[in-house]
Structure 1
């Protein structure tokens, strides 16, 4: 009987031990949380849904740890990406093509809702629309999304870049200042600088949204897409919640926070026109094709990347 009692005690302890081991394993499963994601942001309207997603706790709701890293210049953002400090970034098709051409494997995971506006000076008569700018000084930044959008605007108005006098001014604040002071006929500006120029009396000509030009994208490294696929999907679920919030909430409830977080000038509170944000979606094939044709024609990129070469599907 003693032997039987000892045997039963041993079996009981063994079962209890297995039970504890199984419960530990079950407890460990949730702790194997999603891998952290680091996303680079620029001080523009494209970044706002990510800022709102962080502020409102949507990333936490989706169980993903996200660090938003702000950058003042695209050059610094791209350097951080290539050094492995970022998984993804608010970017544009040109930056993606440049990175890929340079041997750094990145991909487009969605489009964004950034807008680039052609704005004329206060004294310019816009009777002929874009055609009014023939032979006049128009400020851009060379070989960037700004120049690309400018050229696309001209093309859609049956003009070429030889029809205007391009003035290269890389610094956006200087471009804005010269436009407002009447030293330029026009300039292509991102938001919120374009809205600020219009707020101070400059004249809206047209913009990328009006003409269906959509070069703004989210890019992630191929390594991140491979190793953090479910985490990126969670980021997009949080992004979509932020889009819903922006569409349904009075702007006064978040505009001060956005201005402070992005470092926008104080005038942006009254001047800034936010885009109608869309839930996560892939860019259209024409967006890739038109951008690559421009890059190839300028001999900025020799490779002829296709939609399939640049875009990754299935993350939302």
Structure 2
């Protein structure tokens, strides 16, 4: 869907809601969102998550790095990867942070995506202290929160296989919203879950047991992608190049200052309680702009094609 068609679709939706006379507050919110979207017509729109791999984008915006590159970039926050998918498919955003499994699946469904850079997304499998799980073998008859057709679903399969646990006896529960996953850990309604940073630090502070970390076997699934449709637009292609330069500058700056320097920014962007960001691992490193490794792409594609 091109941008003009999308504009008229959104405008029609707003008019229909107004004509029905229901949900005045919701209509106002939709109208405000539409106005903001129109105002961003000259900006590159990027869907982001409240996760550590988005920190370079947060820093680039906060410290004016996009502006120094002469580009306008608007970050659109979401709580679930599936919502980012919907946003890019509909043309609401031009690019998004996600993982390679989701990218390969969207490509198989006909979506044309261009990989802009790999990101430093890491996943940890953590078990709630109430579950009393110390080893992967103890996942039998337990529930794991993850997202279907994502890196977390792939990792769940790999870990269950490696632990020689009966596959059908480990229950994968789809919980897309990261904040909801954490609430389920806190209320003891989920046994284990995949979490990225900084949510993993929150879980560990609640006494969760670390069962697996993608750093242990060097799995790198994070990626920033753009729709090919947006990249066909000369303006947006230029904006993308400027954004990547700012992204690289932000990675260098974070590595120089340390992640904890940005604890307040992370707390605001990721909805963290006071003190959580100050407890993040001090050795987190950001690698700048580079393409995903062929072996990681192969792992994602192979799992999807099983």
Shorter-chain TM band = 0.7 to 0.9
Query: Is the counterpart of residue 259 in structure 1 residue 267 in structure 2?
Result: yes
The answer for the alignment partner of 1:111 in structure 2 is 118
Task: Compute the displacement of 1:183 (Å).
Answer: 4.5
| 1:15-51 CA distance string (max 9 Å, x none) | xxxxxxxxxxxxxxxxxxxx64221111111111011
Query: Is the counterpart of residue 234 in structure 1 residue 242 in structure 2?
Result: yes
The answer for the alignment partner of 1:222 in structure 2 is 228
| 1:32-88 CA distance string (max 9 Å, x none) | xxx642211111111110110111111122222212222233333222212223221
The answer for the alignment partner of 1:142 in structure 2 is 148
Pick closer, same or farther for the CA change 1:108–1:165 going to 2, 3 Å: same
The answer for the alignment partner of 2:23 in structure 1 is none
TM-score normalized by the length of structure 2: 0.75
Task: Compute the displacement of 1:184 (Å).
Answer: 4.1
Mapped partners of 1:296, 1:180: distance in 2: 35
Mapped partners of 1:92, 1:195: distance in 2: 20
Mapped partners of 1:195, 1:132: distance in 2: 22
SS class of match (2:216): coil
Task: Compute the displacement of 1:186 (Å).
Answer: 2.2
User: Matched residue pairs, number?
Assistant: 261
Query: Is the counterpart of residue 172 in structure 1 residue 181 in structure 2?
Result: no
Pick closer, same or farther for the CA change 1:146–1:250 going to 2, 3 Å: closer
Query: Larger Rg: 1 or 2?
Result: 1
Task: Compute the displacement of 1:204 (Å).
Answer: 1.1
Check the 8 A contact 2:198/2:280 in 1, yes or no.
Answer: yes
Alignment map for 1:4-15 (pairs within 5 Å): none
The answer for the alignment partner of 1:272 in structure 2 is 280
Task: Compute the displacement of 1:202 (Å).
Answer: 1.2
Tell me, which stretches of 5 or more residues in structure 1 are unaligned? 1-34, 298-316
Match for residue 103 of structure 2 among 61, 75, 96: 96
User: How well do the aligned residues superpose, as a CA RMSD in angstroms?
Assistant: 2.6
Task: Compute the displacement of 1:196 (Å).
Answer: 0.6
Pick closer, same or farther for the CA change 1:185–1:223 going to 2, 3 Å: closer
Check the 8 A contact 1:138/1:184 in 2, yes or no.
Answer: yes
The answer for the alignment partner of 1:244 in structure 2 is 252
Task: Compute the displacement of 1:247 (Å).
Answer: 0.9
Pick closer, same or farther for the CA change 1:53–1:188 going to 2, 3 Å: same
SS class of match (1:143): coil
Task: Compute the displacement of 1:135 (Å).
Answer: 4.2
Pick closer, same or farther for the CA change 1:169–1:66 going to 2, 3 Å: closer
Query: Is the counterpart of residue 286 in structure 1 residue 286 in structure 2?
Result: no
Tell me, which stretches of 5 or more residues in structure 2 are unaligned? 1-41
The answer for the alignment partner of 1:58 in structure 2 is 65
